[in-house]
């Protein structure tokens, strides 16, 4: 078996950690032996995959990664890139060292747009030379694919999607009964880590407007707080204060616990509609949207580019002010045919992006770098 | 129409876990100290804002941040060496609970005040 390292977050409250865990679990047994080269942020048990914790998020010291690759005899190393994790400079240093040692490399991009830090603007173009030596660059959206080819025209760029796990549907009335909310309708939900750009406060503010035409409306925010992210913790309070200020204690439930997937899915199964009104984000694809699409409930999103890959499986809302959200939600709640169309399109999309298929694709991709 | 009865997020989660067959991993099951929602809020508030804490560094702050939204048993099971730090952190925090509660109340009162004086977002008026 070939020995492959994966530089990623792992066992923490983080979308990339969840992605990596699902992806490695989906790779067929017997072809690769994975070693996770993780940062030091750990909350949950490592699981069956071997893990070495050898770097820190946002830090420039990559010696731990290089040493682990040599010590463990890794033949290939996969990097999961996003800003704030292993930033371009340190990643380039690690890539250089690995290439010099004859190690194959793959970089999966969870963001490609540049960022500004103070008066300095950083882009992937800063490390074009190092990226040009990478065997495969993996993009999660058309925009990312185009950007990577612009930065490194000679690169081998492969387009893939975030995976989805199928969940059996449950009758909405039965779920609401079990949750003790059978007297509430319509139920609107949102899902994902609690981060300011996700529009949770705007959704809370849309509830009183919705209640004018939907007296029984309630809103479930299934949004795990990230305790190591100050903005997330602050937003938790902002949401709670907003609910109190608007007198919505009877209409809004703020669920901030990090829940097992099947429990989170059960809460989404109580919903008539799931809304993800994200504002601007540098991220390329939304794992939260993929999860919501697996719920057999209609999903509405903003028109942020992060949702572009979802096509007609989601309803796009361009006006994500509280008034605009209320208008669109109201319209969708009243349009059962439209909601059915969305659910059917989401099922088709889910079928094309189930983890077992992505696991096989990833294994084939790894094989290809040794050919 | 009269205001609906309050929605209890904790009850929703408890019911969802029960229906999903997820065993409650709360502290009572392991015999470890219980971390209620109120204490949890105060703990996060303290870890980030309370001047007496001055952002304690290293493992202590990390434990605090994580303990704030996770069952304590997860830590005591996996990282026994950190348990005594956590208990110590709780002990010192409890001294300041009243001050923290007052701070939370002030924040809420400030928000209510903004609303009453018309400073609130008019989208939801």
What is the predicted pLDDT for the residue at A98?
96
| Angle between the N-to-C axes of helices A261-269 and B9-20, in degrees from 0 to 180, rounded to the nearest 10 | 110
Q: Write the residue in A206, A251, A259 that is nearest to B7 by C-beta.
A: A251
Cα→Cα distances A12→A128, A226, B9, B30, Å: 30, 9, 23, 22
Asked if A227's CB is within 8 angstroms of B6's CB, the reply is: no
CATH number, span A2-162+354-368: 3.40.50.2000
Statement: residue A287 has pLDDT above 50: yes
- Per the CB < 8 A criterion, the answer to whether A232 and A195 are in contact is yes
Q: Which CATH number fits domain A172-352: 3.30.1360.80, 1.10.8.50, 3.40.50.1820, 3.40.50.2000?
A: 3.40.50.2000
> What residues are paired with A81 via a beta bridge?
A109
Read off the pLDDT of each residue in A120-135 and give the average, rounded to a whole number: 92
pLDDT by residue (tens digit) across A172-223?
999 999 999 999 999 999 999 898 899 999 999 999 999 999 999 999 999 9
Q: How far is CA A62 from the centre of its chain?
A: 25
Statement: residue A159 has pLDDT above 60: yes
- Separation between Cα atoms, residue A68 and residue A52, nearest integer Å: 8
Statement: residue B53 has pLDDT above 90: no
Read off the pLDDT of each residue in A298-322 and give the average, rounded to a whole number: 94
Q: Pick from A157, A105, A176: which is nearest to A134 by CA?
A: A105
pLDDT, greater one: A283 or A311: A311
Closest-CA distance, A156 to chain B, in angstroms, reads 40
- Separation between Cα atoms, residue A161 and residue A347, nearest integer Å: 15
Looking at chain B, which residue has its C-alpha nearest residue A219?
B7
Q: pLDDT-derived band of residue B76, with 50, 70 and 90 as boundaries? A: very low
Closest-CA distance, B95 to chain A, in angstroms, reads 22
Please identify among residues 71-110 of chain B the ones whose CB lies closer than 8 Å to any CB of chain A.
74, 78, 107-108
Q: Report the mean per-residue pLDDT for chain B.
A: 50
What is the predicted pLDDT for the residue at A280?
78
Domain ranges of chain A: 2-162+354-368, 172-352
DSSP character string of chain B:
-PPPPPP-HHHHHHHHHHHHTPPP--HHHHTPPP--HHHHHHHHHHHHH-TTT----HHHHHHHHHHTTS-HHHHHHH-HHHHHHHHHHHHHHHHTHHHHHHHHHHHHHHHHHHHHTT-S-GGG-
């Amino acid at each position: 078996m070939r020995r492959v390292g994966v530089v990623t977050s792992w066992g923490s409250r983080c979308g990339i950690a969840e992605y990596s865990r699902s992806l490695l679990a989906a790779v067929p047994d017997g072809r690769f032996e994975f070693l996770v080269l993780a940062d030091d942020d750990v909350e949950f048990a490592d699981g069956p995959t071997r893990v070495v914790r050898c770097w820190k998020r946002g830090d420039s010291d990559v010696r731990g990664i290089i040493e682990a690759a040599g010590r463990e005899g890794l033949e290939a190393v996969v990097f999961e890139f996003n800003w704030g994790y292993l930033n371009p400079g340190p990643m380039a240093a690690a890539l250089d060292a690995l290439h010099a040692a004859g190690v194959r490399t793959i970089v999966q991009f969870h963001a490609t747009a540049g960022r500004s830090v103070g008066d300095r603007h950083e882009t992937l173009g800063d490390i074009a030379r190092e990226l040009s030596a990478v065997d495969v660059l993996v993009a999660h959206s058309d925009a990312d694919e185009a950007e990577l080819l612009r930065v490194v025209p000679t690169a081998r760029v492969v387009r893939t999607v975030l995976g989805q796990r199928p969940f059996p549907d449950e009758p909405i009335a039965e779920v609401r009964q079990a949750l003790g909310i059978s007297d509430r309708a319509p139920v609107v939900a949102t899902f994902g880590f609690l981060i300011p750009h996700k529009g949770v406060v705007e959704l809370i503010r849309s509830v009183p407007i919705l209640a004018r035409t939907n007296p029984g409306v309630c809103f479930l925010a299934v949004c795990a707080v990230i305790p190591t992210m100050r903005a997330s913790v602050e937003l938790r309070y902002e949401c709670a204060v907003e609910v109190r200020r608007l007198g919505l204690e009877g209409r809004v439930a703020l669920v901030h616990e990090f829940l097992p997937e099947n429990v989170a899915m059960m809460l989404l199964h109580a919903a008539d509609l799931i809304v993800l009104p994200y504002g601007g984000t540098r991220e390329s694809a939304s794992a939260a949207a993929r999860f919501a699409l697996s719920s057999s409930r209609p999903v509405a999103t903003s028109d942020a580019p992060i949702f572009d890959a979802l096509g007609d499986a989601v309803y796009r809302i361009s006006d994500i002010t509280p008034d605009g959200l209320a208008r669109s939600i109201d319209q969708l709640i009243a349009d059962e045919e439209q909601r059915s169309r969305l659910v059917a399109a989401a099922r088709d999309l889910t079928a094309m992006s189930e983890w077992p298929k992505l696991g096989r694709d990833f294994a084939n991709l790894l094989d290809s770098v040794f050919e | 129409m009269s205001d609906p009865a309050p929605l209890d997020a904790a009850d929703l989660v408890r019911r969802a876990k029960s229906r999903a067959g997820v065993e409650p991993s709360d502290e009572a099951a392991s015999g470890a100290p219980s971390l209620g929602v109120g204490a949890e809020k105060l703990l996060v508030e303290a870890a980030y804002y309370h001047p007496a804490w001055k952002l304690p560094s290293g493992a202590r702050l990390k434990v605090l941040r994580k303990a704030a939204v996770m069952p304590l048993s997860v830590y005591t099971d996996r990282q026994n060496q950190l348990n005594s730090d956590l208990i110590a952190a709780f002990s010192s925090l409890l001294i300041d609970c009243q001050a923290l509660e007052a701070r939370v109340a002030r924040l809420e009162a400030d928000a209510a005040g903004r609303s009453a004086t018309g400073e609130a977002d008019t989208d939801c008026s």
